[in-house]
Structure 1
Amino acid sequence: MWEKRSKVIVRQIVLSARTYKRLRHLRHEGHCTALNQAFCRSGGEDAILVVEHPAPVAFTMGMWKPRIILSTGLVKLLDHNELKAVIYHEMYHQKHRDPVKTFVLSLVAAVMWYLPILKWFRHHYNIAREVLADHYAVNRLGSGQDLGGALVKMLKYGRTATVQAAVSFSDTSINYRILRLLDPDMDIPLRLPFAPTMISVQVLLLLCSLFLIEFS
């Protein structure tokens, strides 16, 4: 099974590299130059890639060297400060290498499908990362107004389709995130679901019992 999963990892790395290569062919020179000069001081290859696409898209992708991908549709849709909020949000994911973390967590949840609590944990982990990225953007701008405006505009267009090793600005609990911007004291709901928890506990107890019998 692990051999099969290792092939999945290799395939995902290759897919991510190919996807980025195709996206580079859609590069918008003017927006890329302006945004990288404004937000990325290191130079070298673009940390922010703006591609020619009419739909508003924003996500961070890449297993080892995450890059922020924005579309010309997004640049056109948002005003200056809203765009800054989205970029700061994605910079948090980029800095903390969230694409590879979420991919690994998804892979573990798929491998250990017999522990349904992992699916719940993966979902809430993704929410927590989005909330932290939102918090980072709000701190950089000093207000949640522009981030909230960007979220509302993106909500009209639904979720964006991305490669697996990516995290999207509008792909995780966007309604909850808007509510949390309106009420920063709102807690993330972390009540464990009863059925998946009990099934997972029983499976773990069974595996422990088998392990003890095998080595007793």
Structure 2
Amino acid sequence: MNPPVKLKWIFALMIFCMALFSMQMGIFVARQMEDERLHGFTLTFALLVMVALYTLIRVSWRMITQTYFSRKWLKLFYAIKHDRLTKRFNYKYRSLKTEIIVVKDDAFVALAIGMRRPKIVVSTAVLDIFSDDEVKAILLHEWHHCLNRDNFKLFLMTMLTEAFAYWPIMKPIFRYYQTWTELLADRFAIRQMGSELHLASVLLKLSKLGGMKQHAASVHFANTTMHYRIMQVLEPEKTVKVKIALRRPLLASLSLLLLFMLGGDS
């Protein structure tokens, strides 16, 4: 199964599993509340109510913080926008049909921001450090995130991972999904450029500029997936094998689900 199809299945499977798990918790709570033999809270019932409340609070908190920080960062980027370079880049890359914001900043900023109408943000520091072809490779990488709605998908995955943090399978799946999101964006940039040379140069330069100032919002070109990304551009003929430890987390998650199912049937 090729990586794009695999990611779609992973995304759909995670949504399905969380929906099933949530439904099972709801059924368990409903049956406990309808049980006439229940004279007060049992330990299992109280625990489940706490888990359900924790999940709801984490979902709500993630949605609030995501909205707040997205608006905060976008407001900041518009405040430090370099008008002349922004107009120049929007005209030069008008075929992308995606807004590009060039910001005046000596930190490394290269990211896609926004979920409904994603935009590409790049700093003047990026334009100073990298050549025109390297900047184009960076923009194409971020454009893939915009086209694929990766911001929305990663937000949803992050929200589910945090809300269901007590489910061991969540974190390894999220890391795997996040890594392949970056690898596929790199593949897209390479195909558009016709060569892996320029993107390889970008990644190698970044690996040498480890102490360079970076914004907290800039994650696409400064994350823990760099090892796999460098492997992909240096050995394009080989298939990158992203490690994922699933056996123990999967067994633990299935045991937890089975526990709730048995509890709901009792």
What TM-score does the superposition give when structure 1 sets the normalisation length? 0.88
1:181 alignment partner in structure 2? 233
1:84 lines up with 2:129 in the alignment: no
* More deviation, 125-134/2-11: 2-11
1:9 alignment partner in structure 2? 63
State how far apart, in whole Å, the 2-side matches of 1:183 and 1:205 are: 43
2:119 alignment partner in structure 1? 67
2:145 to 93, 100, 105: 93
Change (3 A) 1:172 1:96: farther
Structure 2 residue runs without a partner (length 5+): 1-52
Which amino acid is 2:262 matched to? S
Q: CA RMSD in A?
A: 2.1
Three-state SS of the structure 2 residue aligned to 1:35 is: helix
Q: Which has the larger radius of gyration?
A: 2
Three-state SS of the structure 1 residue aligned to 2:111 is: strand
State how far apart, in whole Å, the 2-side matches of 1:100 and 1:152 are: 29
2:263 alignment partner in structure 1? 210
Contact 1:58 1:70 in 2 (8 A): yes
Q: Identity of aligned pairs, percent?
A: 28
Which amino acid is 1:30 matched to? R
1:113 lines up with 2:168 in the alignment: no
Paired residue total: 209
Shift of 1:93: 0.2
Contact 2:108 2:126 in 1 (8 A): yes
Q: C-alpha offsets along residues 64-110 of structure 1, whole Å, 9 cap, x if unaligned?
A: 22111111001100001101000000000011111121111011011
2:178 alignment partner in structure 1? 126
Three-state SS of the structure 2 residue aligned to 1:168 is: coil
1:19 alignment partner in structure 2? 73
Contact 1:27 1:49 in 2 (8 A): yes
Which amino acid is 1:121 matched to? I
Contact 2:141 2:188 in 1 (8 A): yes
Shift of 1:155: 2.0
Shift of 1:140: 0.5
Which amino acid is 1:129 matched to? T
1:34 alignment partner in structure 2? 88
Contact 2:145 2:151 in 1 (8 A): yes
Query: Going by fraction, where is helix more abundant, 1 or 2?
Result: 2
1:56 alignment partner in structure 2? 108
Contact 2:228 2:242 in 1 (8 A): no
Three-state SS of the structure 2 residue aligned to 1:5 is: helix
Which amino acid is 2:104 matched to? E
Change (3 A) 1:67 1:172: farther
Q: C-alpha offsets along residues 165-215 of structure 1, whole Å, 9 cap, x if unaligned?
A: x752222411210111112223332443333222112112112222232xx
State how far apart, in whole Å, the 1-side matches of 2:206 and 2:264 are: 50
1:171 to 223, 236, 254: 223
Contact 2:182 2:220 in 1 (8 A): no
Which amino acid is 1:56 matched to? F
State how far apart, in whole Å, the 2-side matches of 1:103 and 1:111 are: 12
Q: How do 1:151-166 and structure 2 match up within 5 A? A: 151-158=203-210, 160-163=214-217
Contact 1:61 1:167 in 2 (8 A): no
1:102 to 131, 142, 154: 154
Change (3 A) 1:182 1:105: same
State how far apart, in whole Å, the 1-side matches of 2:119 and 2:216 are: 13
Contact 2:101 2:120 in 1 (8 A): yes
What TM-score does the superposition give when structure 2 sets the normalisation length? 0.72
Contact 2:109 2:121 in 1 (8 A): yes
